[in-house]
Amino acid sequence: MITQGVKIATRCDACGGVLTRDVGQFIDRGRLWWGTEGACQSCTVAWCEQDSGSETPEEIRQALLSEHGPARLRLIGPETSPVAVLRALREVHGLTLTQAKALADELQSTGLVGTLVEMELMAAQLEQRSVRAAVETQPC
């Protein structure tokens, strides 16, 4: 399982104590999931929430990107057919041809950037459609 998370300490709105939040993303059964949980060290405030889908709340994405840095997805191997890339992107993301073309152009030139979990999932989905891609990360 590919997972990435970060702990964030903030102030509890209920009592003013230290609220520790644990946020992250993970892949389960080929789907992107996100989760957040929190607990105050001084009072009874606590919660746990998770969901799946193509969109992770931006607050969680930004916390992961800030803590771990971005990952970049690039095509690898011999020249990949633009048609295969377009087809794979449309199947994976349900994009229009125009949207898929823009994403394919970016993937073929500079690569796509996102969280490690997002890019690993996309690489696996492309690989299932015979489009080889690799995820690069920068050391923190």
CA gyration radius for the chain? 18
pLDDT at 78 over 80: no
Q: What is the pLDDT of residue 136?
A: 95
d(CA 52, CA 60): 13
Q: What is the pLDDT of residue 10?
A: 93
> With left for phi above 0 and alpha for psi between -120 and 50, is residue 60 left, alpha or beta?
alpha
Q: What is the pLDDT of residue 139?
A: 64
Mean pLDDT along residues 33-56: 92
Provide the mean pLDDT of the chain: 90
Burial class (CB in 10 A: 0-12, 13-18, 19+), 69: middle
